Amino acid sequence: MDSRISARALAAALGGWRTREPAYEALADGIRLLCLDNRLAPRTALPAERELAAFLRVSRSTVAAAYRSLRESGHIASTRGSGSVTLPLRRRDPGRTLVSDGAIDLQQASPPAWPGLAGVLSEVAASASSLVSRVGYDVVGRIELREAIARRYCDRGIPTSPDQIIVTSGAQSAIHLLAGVLAGRGDRVLIETPTYPHAADALRRAGTRLVGVPVTSADGWDLDRAEQAFARTLPIMAYLMPDFQNPTGRSMSTGARTTILQSAERAGTILVLDETTADLDIDRGTVAPGFLDGDPSLVVRVGSLGKTVWGGLRVGWIRGETDLVRRLVAARPAQDLGTPEFEQAVAATLFPQFGAVVAQRSHVLRNGRDAVLAAVSRALPEWHAPHAQGGVSLWIELDAPLSSGLVMDVRSRGLLLSAGPRFSVDGGHDRHLRIPFTASPDDLVAAVDILAEAWPRVRGGARVAMAEQLDSVV
């Protein structure tokens, strides 16, 4: 068995789980959602029934029935004497979480492939014989691709040479590599909350301790908290998304960039700026100045074609000082032996057309964003959906902290979403829901209609459950 979760931690992670009757099914659903989101890893020991019942203020038989339901749906196994453990997810969850083939899947915020991509793939395939004459293990990246990436930084006003670039298999692989090279077990890493969850997972897996700094759709970065966190915890590294932050869609103001840079310099913290979503501008217009004036050895940038071109391309990169690039290249083989040649050739062919790529992206994302904003204000006026100027998603504030219950409810109705707490670093965010606007406007409107149909039921269920719980306590 790998790990265990205490009753206190499980109760906190469950948040407002009691959204319907019977209570044991609502509880089982809450635990299923934690498994689906990977907030409860496979082979995690669950608390004893009696202990969890005490924390949740329900009867032991409610927890026993929830665990029975989870056993039946294949989410946990229980053995006499050693309690219950979560199981690895099967490809399809039986029972309540069964999702039909026509499901609308908004768990990932990934736009469809750029329409010109298929043509570029065919063009590159035509030169297959020269591609296969290469060695094939390329842990640094093809020079023509690194030149193209460096040129793009120069165009943005960030002078860059190709030896400051290492090409990776997507931004995720870049984050994983940086986490291993820049941070060690027990080191503190400053990170936004909410954040991109797979980055938080990679940093946790490297053994680091995450220090969350709040970002809100309405006000952006909490700079007081950020300054304090830099000064008090002296983080070894900060992982931040200054442009069109995922999930809030916010971009840092020039003042915020200066404050963060100065705080990082004082604390000796390396800023890892994830710019995967930075080119997804809808109506911001000007490109915000990057962290230009600081000590260059403190700023490392991560980029990717995953959102601009296609997630399936798996081409990303890191821009850093040449010394850092050398360290990354040396450490990389333990993780992977390079980025595939074909994908690199495709990426190098795409860069000269980057202007057309981002213009098309802007158009697609504008349609999606506007469709969600209009549908939410029509069907769920009690929710607060802040305008995002770019990026991939809206971070919507619900009028009750029931994001997890709602996500579980709509799952059985063919709509897949990630609940707010999935994006949280230190728990919470059950009052928020991320709605990616990367799908087609038709699917997005249908998704909001499903949410609007479910919301009164989820809210009503929670109210009844709350009243019953109060009754049973007094």
Ligand X SMILES: Cc1ncc(COP(=O)(O)O)c(C=O)c1O
Residue 171 makes contact with ligand X by CB under 6 A: yes
Which phi and psi angles does 79 have, rounded to 5°? -125, 145
Residue from 246, 339, 344, 424 in contact with ligand X (CB under 6 A): 246
Residue 170 makes contact with ligand X by CB under 6 A: yes
Question: Please, which residue, 267 or 348, has the CB nearer to ligand X?
Answer: 348
Residue 277 makes contact with ligand X by CB under 6 A: yes
Q: What's the CA gap between 385 and 432, in Å, rounded?
A: 10
What residues from 30 to 49 belong to the interface with ligand X (CB under 6 A)? none
Strand order of the sheet with strand 209-216?
165-168, 316-319, 299-304, 270-274, 237-240, 188-193, 209-216, 220-221
Q: Nearest distance from residue 390's CB to ligand X, in Å? A: 13
Interface with ligand X by CB under 6 A: which range of 27-35, 46-54, 273-281, 374-382?
273-281
Question: Please, which residue, 304 or 404, has the CB nearer to ligand X?
Answer: 304
Question: Please, which residue, 205 or 378, has the CB nearer to ligand X?
Answer: 205
Q: Nearest distance from residue 272's CB to ligand X, in Å? A: 11
Q: Nearest distance from residue 72's CB to ligand X, in Å? A: 34
C-beta of residue 404 within 8 angstroms of C-beta of residue 14: yes
Residue 316 makes contact with ligand X by CB under 6 A: yes
Distance (Å) of CA 134 to CA 114, 129, 131, 162, 374: 28, 9, 6, 20, 51
Helices 117-125, 341-350: crossing angle, 10 deg rounding: 120
CB atoms within 10 A of CB 128: 12
Residue from 311, 401, 427, 441 in contact with ligand X (CB under 6 A): 311
Cis omega (within 30 of 0) for bond into 194: yes
Which phi and psi angles does 146 have, rounded to 5°? -65, -35
What residues from 180 to 209 belong to the interface with ligand X (CB under 6 A)? 196
Residue 304 makes contact with ligand X by CB under 6 A: yes
Question: Please, which residue, 434 or 459, has the CB nearer to ligand X?
Answer: 434
**In 302-385, where does DSSP find H-type helix?**
322-331, 341-350, 354-379
Question: Please, which residue, 30 or 242, has the CB nearer to ligand X?
Answer: 242
C-beta of residue 84 within 8 angstroms of C-beta of residue 77: yes
Size of the site for ligand X (CB under 6 A): 13
Residue 247 makes contact with ligand X by CB under 6 A: no
Residue from 15, 249, 306, 368 in contact with ligand X (CB under 6 A): 306
Q: Nearest distance from residue 63's CB to ligand X, in Å? A: 35
Question: Which residues lie across from 272 on neighbouring strands?
Answer: 239, 300
Q: Nearest distance from residue 109's CB to ligand X, in Å? A: 6
Note the residues at the interface with ligand X (CB under 6 A): 170-172, 196, 241, 246, 274, 276-277, 304, 306, 311, 316
